[in-house]
Amino acid sequence: MNRLILLLSAVALWSGCTSPDPMPSLSTEHEGVIVHLFEWRWDDVARECEEYLGPNGFAAVQVTPPTENHIVVGRPWWESYQPVSYGFETRRGDRASFEGMVARCDAAGVDVIVDVVLNHMADADLEHEGDAEFTGRGTGGSTFGPWDYPGIYDYDDFHHCGLTDNNHIWDWDDRAQVTECELLGLSDLDTSSPNVRSTLAAYLQDLSSMGVAGYRLDAARHIKAEDIEAILSEADIDGYVVQEILTAGRVEPWLDDYLRIGNVTEFAWTEAIGEALRHRTWSDLAPGGWFWTSRQYVPEAQSLVFVDNHDRQRGHGGEAAINFKDGALYELAQVFTLAWPHGRKRVMSSFAFDTDFQGPPMDASEAIVPVYGDNGLNCGNGSWVCEHRWPVITGAVAFHNAVDGPVTNWWTDGEDAIAFGRGETGFVIINGTGALLDGSWQTSLPAGTYCNRLEDGECMAVEVDEEGRLATRLRPMTALAIDSGSKQSP
């Protein structure tokens, strides 16, 4: 056994700033794991809520924007983030199927969190992007042109910033450009306009009336915080709000205005865990170690943490995050993220892709291929990945739901093996090495026989003795997680 480092309790984690009081009408107290079923059809989401998410303890499902979007030749995934109206006609289903999905998920005990696009509409300048081609048509039959969405918005409802040659964002540290110029050529809504605010508030009210329980605000960094607050106030909605904001590992003073509104996506976690596990060591995850001091973090109570998301797994924003293509390394990263007490957790459920442009699996008519097909579940067959169904990740969700309390009994071999407890409720060992890990670990668990949550099938028994110690062997690139809920009756 290599050298042991045993700390009886974890040190306090540095967060970089204090958390201002949030808006009283919006909850930052929602708990439980979210799964992002990226580009899934509404009927498939509903069935997954009933057959898998609810029974396996997932608290919420994040779904792709449900609004009518621009039809882009080749059907890339990002066309879903180019709304042309607030109708509900998309390749994922219509209004009736969306509303039915929300009701069925709610009955299964799973909240629906909608990805909402408030910052922009579809292409403003008709520029081609790679293989993309402007069509001027929407998935529900709407037609539109530059800064012209008939019956909804016209030219005066958009920012025309005049700060750069083409009105696009050039300087990402310039708050005026970031909030008033065009993001990648998308027509930037003037969210200070009463007409724009009322239109967006009405859309949020519509979602709320159907039972939607949460909202991910796409590109929130590109909207002034006072505009978001005004829109949400006019909408008068309840529920979980998380704002997509890339901090680049720096908690700037302007972020406080967003933290008063709701939670924030913690991209620093994604960046740090990717760098640590690809280029450094697992020991860098130690309390107070490199992982926690290399970047500034959003206050824990208002952060949404994740190993990857639909952007980062495609390399957007720098080096690609750890993702499903990394196999066992990805599983272990999810185990650590779900087991460590920091922020709310979200796991990704992807479709397979070879290029950034590539959209969800589709047939010859460009219809999205169902996850629940005529011949069974289309997971793991080269189309839908369904990471959330991997036994290790599902087991880590169960562990997350069963444990409580601070980190205790931290241990590392100084390199790529770590272990830690969650007080008297759970204990985790992660072997990130290429060799067998054989040893004995001190826990704070009561004596007894436990099942490893991360093993598929029959119980892999783990014994904890009267002194709280467990002895075991772990294969390379595997983990063990036991908790009070997996303890066997005498």
User: Catalytic site residue 21?
Assistant: no
Q: Are strands 469-474 and 437-442 parallel, antiparallel or unpaired?
A: antiparallel
Annotated active-site residue in 244, 308, 387, 483? 244
- Is 218 among the residues known to form the active site? yes
With contact defined as beta carbons under 8 Å apart, do 144 and 122 qualify?
A: yes
- Whole-number CA gyration radius for the chain: 23
Task: Kindly tell me the sign of the dihedral angle through the C-alpha atoms of 340, 346, 351, 352.
Answer: negative
Catalytic residue among 111, 123, 182, 218: 218
Q: Which residues contact 9 (CB under 8 A, 6 or more apart)?
A: 406, 407, 408
- For residues 465 and 447, the answer to whether their CB atoms sit within 8 Å is yes
Residue 148's DSSP bridge partners are 145
Neighbours of 141 (CB within 10 A): 12
Length of the chain: 490
Characterise 302 by phi-psi region: left (phi > 0), alpha (psi -120 to 50), beta (else). alpha
- To 5 degrees, how large is the angle CA 318–CA 134–CA 366? 85
Gap between the Cα atoms of 420 and 424, Å rounded = 11
For the purposes of burial, counting CB atoms within 10 Å of the CB of 355, is it exposed (0-12), middle (13-18) or buried (19 or more)? exposed
Whether residue 265 contacts residue 243, with contact meaning beta carbons closer than 8 Å, is answered with yes
Nearest-angstrom CA–CA distance, 215 and 227 = 16
Question: CA dist 236 to 60, 219, 264, Å?
Answer: 21, 21, 20
Alpha-carbon distance of 206 to 212, in angstroms, equals: 9
Question: Annotated catalytic sites, by residue?
Answer: 218, 244
